Amino acid sequence: MSKSLNSILIVEDDIELATLIKDYLASRHFEVFVEHSGTTAVERILELQPGMVILDLMLPGKDGISICREVRPNYEGVILMLTASNDSVDQILGLEIGADDFVQKPVEPRILLARVRALLRRYEASPTVTASTETNHSATAMQFSGLLINPSSRSVTLDQRELEFTAPEFDMLAYLATNAGQIISRDQLFRQLRNIDYDGQNRFVDITMSHIRKKLGDSAGKYLKTVRGKGYLFVLSSEN
């Protein structure tokens, strides 16, 4: 578990940009550390265990995707990736291996700050981070035919086979299942999962949904429906 949600490690080889972000976040009362090399980033992240890592996609020595993949099994904090690329493939891969969000370069400090705060609020509210409470332990598991969603253990089991879900994927599936039978718009999902308003362009919801469908495989259509122009529906039927 991260030692402090208020601590942030910036992994960025652009010294000017790293300094700009560090000074801005420090002025907002965050404890900020900086690492410029991808080669030593993994060791630094695992040693510090900060509440958040702001991780550049392109780094000397080792790229951000490789770093994210390597640290994620032993790092429970938030990973926010910076990218100068418009290639959605990079974002899809990053989210798939455990990144929580992407911010496009050039970075607008106020937007970055809003994203940082939103992600940390969501992380702090997660049962994996908060102290064990009666509410967390008594969270009711949801059974839909062969699909079991357990908020207490944050696990998903399909036909008695446990599936590996990232935090955003689990949160989205659990939210839709909790509201089974109701159409949930992209705007609702975005606000629920990110704590910020949907700008109409961010593909976070669509990318996360595509990962959920992929992991559910042939059973995805049994549980999840896209309602054109309206949003997503977790199917509540006699079969479930």
Say how far apart CA 103 and CA 115 lie, in whole Å.
Answer: 8
Exposure letters 150-163 (e unless 16+ CB within 10 A, then b): bbeebebbbeeeeb
What's the CA angle centered on 8, arms 82 and 202, to 5 degrees? 35
User: Is the pTM value of this prediction over 0.75?
Assistant: no
pLDDT at 168: 80
Which parts of the chain have pLDDT scores under 50?
A: 1-2, 127-138, 238
Exposure letters 16-27 (e unless 16+ CB within 10 A, then b): ebbebbbebbee
Q: 204-216 and 88-96 are packed helices; what angle lies between their axes, rounded to 10 degrees? A: 50
pLDDT at 33: 97
Say how far apart CA 201 and CA 181 lie, in whole Å.
Answer: 26
CATH number of 4-125: 3.40.50.2300
pLDDT at 27: 96
Cβ proximity of 81 and 57 under 8 Å: yes
What are the strands, taking DSSP E only, across the chain?
4-11, 31-35, 50-56, 78-83, 101-104, 142-144, 147-150, 155-158, 161-163, 183-184, 224-227, 231-234
Cβ atoms within 10 A of the Cβ of 146, count?
Answer: 15
pLDDT at 101: 85
pLDDT at 133: 32
Joined tokens for residue 138 = 């008594």
How do residues 6-37 score in pLDDT, each as one tens digit?
899 999 999 999 999 999 999 999 999 999 99
pLDDT at 134: 34
CA atoms lying within 13 Å on the CB side of residue 194: 21
Residue owning tokens 């559910």: 216
Q: For the chain, what are the domain ranges?
A: 4-125, 137-234
pLDDT at 126: 54
Residue 179: which of 208, 206, 144 has the closest Cα?
144
pLDDT at 238: 47
Joined tokens for residue 108 = 């607008």
- The yes/no answer on whether domain 137-234 falls in CATH 3.30.2350.10 is no
Say how far apart CA 218 and CA 216 lie, in whole Å.
Answer: 6
Cβ atoms within 10 A of the Cβ of 208, count?
Answer: 23
pLDDT at 130: 39
